[in-house]
Amino acid sequence: MVLDKDLAKDMKPDEEDAPPSYQSAVAAGPSTSAAPSSLDAKSSSPSRPGLKPPKSPRATGGSASSRKSGFFRAVSSMFDTPSKQVRATTQALVRDVVQRAPGAPALSLEEAEGVLESCAAACAAKSFDLASILREPFIEQHTAVYWAILGGNVPLAHALLERSEPLTSVVSDEVRSACTLASDDALWRRLRSKYRPLEPEPTPAQALIMTGARDEVVVSTSGGAFIASLRLPHFQKRMRVAGLVAVECIAHGRLFKISFLVNSTRFTMDHSYSEGSWLVALSLQPPSTPTPVYARLHVDPQTSGVSRDRRAGTSTPVKQKPLNVAISTGTKGAENELAVAPRWGHEVRAELPTGALQDDGTIYVDAAGTLLARLETQFQKPASDNDCIIC
């Protein structure tokens, strides 16, 4: 059994009281010669409250059966041990569920949920809850859900999150970091949509303006490039009232923050631009690694312009040009690469054309005030400004 260093210091049990680890329980295996245990003999002891024995495996095979029995014996022993040992054994069992030994078959979701349910019952019998343990970073300085996400076990990640509620900022950071390192933006958005505490807390002003609406970001990637398609409801109102609209996206193992902000002392005045101007900014969030970026904000017109022929008294629609704003490292006044704060160069900014998004009736914001835009980003300098990011 592998214990957390801090716990091992205070929880060293006596040999006769220590619960068996999962490994030792499995090693013992089913025995035909030994006398039946108290859990195996119904007449010897009543069943434990909430403890559910593993179901019979669908396919025949001693390895699956003994693995389930090993978990069951390890969990059942916790009911008769002190609270500190129950906590330590629970951590070891959760670690075994998430981090399988080399060559060991992964547990099915049914098996994993059975272990978690039995651990929850054992913890409840000692007057503490499993959720508090699952929220702790006790597996190599990280939580169990962090390793489930990195291991690609999405069903297990859901099971762990459901049993970790109420979710804390620690869990939120762990989910965000794991999804970033796994470069899985879609999973991160699904988890945030299902478990609302994983969503960033909006300011009171932002929440009042949004009235239930949500920002939407869709990421598509290719070698050394990505496009983030943005749908930002009530864009103008939020900029005028709060002075900031920001979203995040994951691409190529990095977490990017895309911000629209009013250049004012509230958000650190940038004297490279006029006061009150609207800026677009790109920054990196932990645990991202530094990289050069060559990005372009692209906004298609939402309405057509009109050209009037005074002599004929007619009007014809005029095709409007899209709005393009370059935002890159290595340009005048910018660092050569983007890095996570507090390192200098953690954010690059560019000024939006005067009136392009600020004014009422602008062709780049729809009638409901929603901004539809794309951030096209490359990590290598394009040969020309017209190079296709993802074709």
Question: How large is the average pLDDT for residues 59-80?
Answer: 52
State which amino acid sits at residue 160: L
Question: What pLDDT is stored for residue 128 in this prediction?
Answer: 87
Question: How large is the average pLDDT for residues 67-87?
Answer: 63
pLDDT greater at residue 65 or residue 95:
95
Taking residue 285's Cβ as centre, other Cβ atoms within 10 Å add up to 17
Distance CA 119, CA 130 (A): 7
Chain segment 78-113, per-residue pLDDT in tens: 555 667 788 999 999 999 999 887 887 888 999 999
Question: What pLDDT is stored for residue 18 in this prediction?
Answer: 39
Phi, psi of 44 (to 5 degrees): -80, -35
pLDDT at 149 over 90: yes
3-state class of 338 per DSSP?
strand
Question: What pLDDT is stored for residue 336 in this prediction?
Answer: 65
Mean predicted lDDT score pLDDT of the chain:
79
Quick one: what percent of the chain has pLDDT higher than 70? 70
The answer to which of 167-176, 231-240, 326-335, 345-354 has the lowest mean pLDDT is 326-335
Domain-by-domain residue ranges, the chain? Answer: 5-198, 204-378
Question: What pLDDT is stored for residue 318 in this prediction?
Answer: 59
pLDDT at 234 over 70: yes
Question: How large is the average pLDDT for residues 172-186?
Answer: 97
Q: Give the model's confidence band at 2: pLDDT under 50 very low, under 70 low, under 90 confident, else very high.
A: very low
Beta bridge partners of 107: none
Question: What pLDDT is stored for residue 40 in this prediction?
Answer: 41
Chain segment 129-142, per-residue pLDDT in tens: 999 999 999 999 99
Taking residue 71's Cβ as centre, other Cβ atoms within 10 Å add up to 25
Question: What pLDDT is stored for residue 340 in this prediction?
Answer: 76
Question: How large is the average pLDDT for residues 198-224?
Answer: 91
Question: How large is the average pLDDT for residues 215-239?
Answer: 96
Q: Give the model's confidence band at 116: pLDDT under 50 very low, under 70 low, under 90 confident, else very high.
A: very high
List the CATH code of the domain at 204-378. 2.60.210
pLDDT greater at residue 216 or residue 342:
216
Cβ(109)–Cβ(157) below 8 Å: no
Question: What pLDDT is stored for residue 303 in this prediction?
Answer: 72
CA distances in angstroms from 287 to 181, 198, 256, 261, 290, listed in the order given: 8, 17, 10, 24, 10
Question: What pLDDT is stored for residue 70 in this prediction?
Answer: 54
State which amino acid sits at residue 94: V
pLDDT greater at residue 232 or residue 391:
232
The answer to which of 171-180, 252-261, 300-309, 381-390 has the lowest mean pLDDT is 381-390
Long-range contact set of residues 279-282: C-beta below 8 Å, sequence gap at least 24: 279/349, 279/350, 279/351, 279/352, 280/325, 280/327, 280/349, 280/350, 280/352, 281/257, 281/327, 281/347, 281/348, 281/349, 281/350, 282/256, 282/257, 282/258, 282/327, 282/338, 282/347, 282/348, 282/375, 282/377
Question: What pLDDT is stored for residue 76 in this prediction?
Answer: 57
Q: What is the DSSP string of 343-368?
A: STTSEEEEEPPTTTTTSTT-TTS-TT
Taking residue 62's Cβ as centre, other Cβ atoms within 10 Å add up to 10
Question: How large is the average pLDDT for residues 190-212?
Answer: 91
The pTM (predicted TM-score) of the whole model is: 0.75
Question: How large is the average pLDDT for residues 191-199?
Answer: 94
pLDDT at 164 over 80: yes
For the chain, the first-to-last Cα distance in angstroms comes to 52
pLDDT greater at residue 19 or residue 281:
281
CA distances in angstroms from 277 to 68, 270, 339, 373, listed in the order given: 63, 10, 25, 19
Question: How large is the average pLDDT for residues 309-322?
Answer: 63
Question: What pLDDT is stored for residue 55 in this prediction?
Answer: 45
